[in-house]
């Protein structure tokens, strides 16, 4: 079976490939990857590289004997390792490379999100290879994406990629753990990601990385919902990239969805972190799901959490525990506690100002699939 053709791809390389021996950057696995990128670019295909490894690369420069590294020390390792890692990548390519470091707060702010998108597109237009990593040296816990598997899916969405290649240390997704079961069988194609697929994914086995198979499946779900074919392949095997160049599928292909959601809806669903919840009555629930309506104050029963105007919130039925929607709220939690359940015209009379008609406008609302 041949792989789908693609015009623009994101390639994610993890720490275990960048610094496999935990003694700094190594070319052991990087040369075949670089050759693959060069060959694709010569064919006229565009590539964005998402590269982990700054902490692993910087570890040799900061003497720390314990296995568990404190956050402040990891940040210092990242700061020195990022420079070394970029130096290695730059030497592999004839054309210039560009470094983009980002945090989750950059991606969840719509203006910065669009700015990053524009920068990446301009770099690709000028035949410059973008190399993206999370800004580990500066990011706090609440600012972090957490792993570069999910970051690569967000970048693939940003640049409207056709394909996402996630390099791992095994040949793809298996029906059981191949490290424990010698009879485990690789799954060549996944048509739909559901709980049965997630049940096959385990945790991280790398001491230098933060991602395991589960984060790779999470990334595949994000990317395929945006119409991006996603591959999990073995980055330690040079023949992997030869197969990809020949149009074969050497790992596991997660097929793109036939009805992908829009870029903004994808951003709402997968990038923004909900800061609270709004509970609604049956009438509001029906209006949101069946009629595609905006959320009004009259249908709100209760408010949970502490959020500000412009924050993302989950919308949940007062009679159910499952969230039915996610959107950007135009009121703070404190304001909603005062106007919940009231008609718009009554709010103006009671509080002496003309309120925003919609608590969450339909254009800023994403109905969740299981609703």
Q: pLDDT (tens digit, 9 = 90+) per residue, 95-127?
A: 899 999 988 888 878 788 889 999 999 999 999
Total residue length of the chain: 371
Are the CB atoms for 300 and 359 separated by under 8 Å? Answer: yes
103 vs 207: which has the higher pLDDT: 103
Asked if residue 128 has pLDDT above 90, the reply is yes
Torsion 189-191-195-198 (CA) sign: positive
Mean pLDDT of 57-85: 82
What pLDDT is stored for residue 203 in this prediction? 46
Asked if residue 241 has pLDDT above 90, the reply is yes
Give the rounded percent of residues in the chain with a pLDDT score beyond 90.
49
Tens of pLDDT, residue by residue over 267-321, are: 788 778 899 999 999 999 999 999 989 999 999 999 999 998 888 999 999 888 8
When computed from its CA atoms, the radius of gyration of the chain, rounded to whole angstroms, is 23
Long-range own/partner contacts, residues 86-90 (CB < 8 A, 24 or more apart): 86/131, 88/25, 88/27, 88/30, 89/30, 89/34, 89/49, 89/51, 89/131
What confidence category does residue 22 fall into, taking pLDDT thresholds of 50, 70 and 90?
A: low
Asked if residue 20 has pLDDT above 90, the reply is no
What confidence category does residue 6 fall into, taking pLDDT thresholds of 50, 70 and 90?
A: very high
Are the CB atoms for 75 and 283 separated by under 8 Å? Answer: no
257 vs 371: which has the higher pLDDT: 257
Asked if residue 352 has pLDDT above 70, the reply is no
Instruction: Could you list the beta-strand ranges (E) of the chain.
Output: 8-13, 46-51, 97-102, 129-134, 163-168, 189-190, 229-234, 252-254, 276-280, 300-305, 312-317, 323-328, 365-367
Are the CB atoms for 78 and 58 separated by under 8 Å? Answer: yes
What pLDDT is stored for residue 371 in this prediction? 45
Give the rounded percent of residues in the chain with a pLDDT score beyond 70.
91
Pairing relationship of beta strands 312-317 and 323-328 according to DSSP bridges: antiparallel
What confidence category does residue 57 fall into, taking pLDDT thresholds of 50, 70 and 90?
A: confident
Pairing relationship of beta strands 163-168 and 229-234 according to DSSP bridges: parallel
What pLDDT is stored for residue 265 in this prediction? 78
- Alpha-carbon span 230 to 244, nearest angstrom: 13
Asked if residue 70 has pLDDT above 70, the reply is yes
For the sheet containing 300-305, what is the strand order? 300-305, 276-280, 312-317, 323-328, 365-367
Asked if residue 211 has pLDDT above 60, the reply is no
- Alpha-carbon span 51 to 155, nearest angstrom: 12
- Alpha-carbon span 344 to 366, nearest angstrom: 23
Tens of pLDDT, residue by residue over 135-177, are: 877 765 544 555 789 899 999 999 999 999 999 888 999 988 8
What per-residue string of b and e applies to 7-43 under the rule 16 or more CB within 10 Å gives b?
Answer: ebbbbbbbbbbbbbeeebbbeebbebbbebbbebbee
C-alpha pair distances (Å), 64 with each of 69, 76, 114, 156: 8, 11, 39, 35
- Alpha-carbon span 208 to 235, nearest angstrom: 16
**Domains in the chain: ranges and CATH:** 8-266 (3.40.1160.10), 274-367 (2.30.130.10)
- Alpha-carbon span 17 to 22, nearest angstrom: 10
Are the CB atoms for 131 and 98 separated by under 8 Å? Answer: yes
Mean pLDDT of 56-69: 78
Q: Which two tokens stand for residue 271?
A: 């990038």
Mean pLDDT of 363-368: 88
What confidence category does residue 221 fall into, taking pLDDT thresholds of 50, 70 and 90?
A: very high
What pLDDT is stored for residue 24 in this prediction? 73
Asked if residue 129 has pLDDT above 60, the reply is yes
What confidence category does residue 252 fall into, taking pLDDT thresholds of 50, 70 and 90?
A: very high
C-alpha pair distances (Å), 88 with each of 62, 149, 258: 19, 21, 39
What confidence category does residue 210 fall into, taking pLDDT thresholds of 50, 70 and 90?
A: very low
What confidence category does residue 208 fall into, taking pLDDT thresholds of 50, 70 and 90?
A: very low
């Amino acid at each position: 079976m041949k792989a789908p053709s693609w015009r623009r791809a994101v390639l994610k390389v993890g720490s275990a490939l960048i610094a496999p021996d935990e003694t700094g950057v190594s070319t052991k696995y990087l040369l075949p990857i670089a050759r693959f990128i060069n060959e694709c670019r010569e064919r006229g295909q565009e590539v964005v590289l998402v590269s982990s490894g700054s902490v692993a690369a910087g570890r040799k420069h900061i003497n720390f004997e314990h296995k568990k590294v404190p956050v402040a020390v990891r940040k210092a390792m990242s700061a020195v390792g990022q420079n070394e890692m970029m130096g290695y990548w730059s030497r592999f390519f004839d054309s210039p490379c560009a470094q983009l470091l980002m945090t989750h707060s950059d991606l969840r702010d719509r203006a910065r999100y669009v700015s990053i998108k524009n920068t990446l597109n301009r770099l690709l237009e000028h035949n410059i290879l973008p190399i993206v990593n999370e800004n580990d040296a500066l990011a706090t816990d609440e600012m972090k994406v957490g792993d570069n598997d999910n970051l690569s899916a967000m970048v693939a969405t940003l640049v409207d990629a056709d394909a996402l290649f996630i390099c791992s240390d095994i040949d793809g997704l298996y029906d059981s753990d191949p490290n424990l079961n010698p009879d485990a069988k690789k799954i060549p194609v996944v048509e739909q990601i559901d709980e049965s697929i997630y049940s096959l994914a385990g945790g991280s086995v790398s001491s230098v990385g933060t991602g395991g198979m589960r984060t790779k499946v999470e990334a595949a779900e994000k990317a395929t919902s945006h119409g991006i074919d996603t591959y999990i392949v073995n980055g330690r095997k040079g023949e992997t990239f030869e197969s990809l160049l020949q149009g074969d599928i050497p790992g596991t292909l997660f097929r793109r969805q036939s009805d992908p959601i829009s870029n903004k809806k994808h951003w709402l669903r997968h990038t923004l972190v909900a800061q609270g919840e709004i509970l609604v009555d049956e009438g509001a629930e029906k209006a949101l799901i069946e009629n595609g309506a905006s959320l009004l104050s009259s249908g709100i029963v209760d408010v949970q959490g502490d959020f500000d105007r412009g924050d993302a919130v989950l919308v949940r039925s007062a009679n159910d525990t499952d969230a039915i929607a996610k959107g950007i709220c135009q009121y703070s939690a404190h304001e909603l506690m005062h106007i919940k359940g009231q008609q718009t015209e009554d709010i103006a009379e009671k509080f002496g100002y003309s309120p925003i008609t919609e608590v969450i406008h339909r254009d800023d609302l994403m109905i969740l699939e299981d609703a």
